[in-house]
Amino acid sequence: MTTLKNDRFLRALLREPVDTTPVWMMRQAGRYLPEYRATRAAAGDFLSLCKNQDFACEVTLQPLRRYELDAAILFSDILTVPDALGLGLYFETGEGPKFHKTVRTEQDVANLPKINAKSDLDYVMNAVTAIRSALGGQVPLIGFSGSPWTLATYMVEGGSSKDFRFTKNMMYAQPEVMHALLAHLADAVTDYLNAQIDAGAQAVQIFDSWGGALAHREYIEFSLNYMQRIVSGLQREKDGRKIPVILFTKGGGQWLEPMIATGADAFGLDWTTNLQTARQTAAGRAALQGNLDPATLYGSPASIAKATKAMLDDAYANGEKTGYVANLGHGITQWVDPENPRAFIDTVHEYSAKYL
């Protein structure tokens, strides 16, 4: 077993002592990097990039060559599970992901197959193993999945949506059908994440990108309850190390208290949440991750450093010395100057030392 040279990310998630605040960026391997765009062009299209382990490994490592990041995250897509369920994922230029089939009726849900992640999504597991090997213990590798609710929105709508018309129609008019779909997805995601852990992922994150579109009671019933089901079914230790679990609901900071009750180790926050208040709410029971507005990276290095310092001041205002991972509040955008993230990352490492 390769010794992990930099484990501060894992230590912070488990609220263990760290020498400086760990930092990574959601969507850190992406279109803002010219080397990523070149690799994607070589692959031919986005799905080919995801499904080729060599390409997936290459783009995962690219940001680590540029920046002093404390974690790598598997390069893949949250919609691999619905694709494995036979819905036919494809991407329209300028329109994002779409499916050839939708799931809108009780019969549609009943027709969904039960997947075996290790065989039906073997290209993901091959990529995890290849990336873990290529990292050589440099930093930990994060695996991930979309949440059941988020995956369901794409499956029911047939792609992205602004109002979730068909999804919310099912949820309110036929809640039993929605629950059946979410239960099926929770089982699939549990199997998927456990397969990633077996393949080499050292932490996992569940991306609940659209949980924030729900009303309070519906968020608990239709999103959080199914993430809790996943957390309860995950392998939490491998090769003598704990496997931390992070939940991230975009627009979900107001639900931090019930989130903590799921038993996950850490919770991602977007930029709408007051980080100091969130740390007070968590009260040492869980780690937090976030929450710089990704648009901050459009600014100058000086303005990025100022915003980063303010975020760190909030994170450590209560005197805590660990249990915090610096990150953006959502994915880095394609329009960011690739020189700008360095100001964020370096400021995190240099400025946070005074608190630790």
Residues of each annotated binding site? 27-31, 77, 154, 209, 330
Q: How far apart are CA 345 and CA 83, in angstroms?
A: 34
The one catalytic residue among 11, 15, 40, 279: 40
- Give the annotated binding-site residues for substrate: 27-31, 77, 154, 209, 330
The one catalytic residue among 31, 37, 236, 241: 31
In the residue annotation, 15 being an active-site residue is answered as: no
Which amino acid type is present at position 141? Answer: L
Q: How far apart are CA 201 and CA 130, in angstroms?
A: 11
The whole-angstrom distance between residue 343's C-alpha and the CA centroid of its chain comes to 22
Report DSSP state, residue 254. Answer: G
In the residue annotation, 217 being an active-site residue is answered as: no
In the residue annotation, 236 being an active-site residue is answered as: no
The one catalytic residue among 27, 37, 66, 236: 27
In the residue annotation, 346 being an active-site residue is answered as: no
The one catalytic residue among 7, 70, 77, 191: 77
Token couple for 336: 């960011």
Question: Which residues have a Cβ under 8 Å from the Cβ of 335 and sit 6 or more positions away?
Answer: 32, 298
Q: How far apart are CA 275 and CA 307, in angstroms?
A: 13
The whole-angstrom distance between residue 107's C-alpha and the CA centroid of its chain comes to 31
In the residue annotation, 40 being an active-site residue is answered as: yes
Nearest C-alpha neighbor of 268 from the set 258, 278, 277, 276: 278
3-state secondary structure 173-221: HCHHHHHHHHHHHHHHHHHHHHHHHHHCCCEEEEEECCHHHCCHHHHHH
Token couple for 188: 């699939």
CB burial of 325-342 (b: ≥16 within 10 Å; e: otherwise) equals bbbbbbebeeebebebbe
Q: Are strands 241-242 and 237-238 parallel, antiparallel or unpaired?
A: antiparallel
The one catalytic residue among 32, 36, 67, 154: 154
Among all residues, which ones are annotated catalytic?
Answer: 27, 31, 40, 77, 154
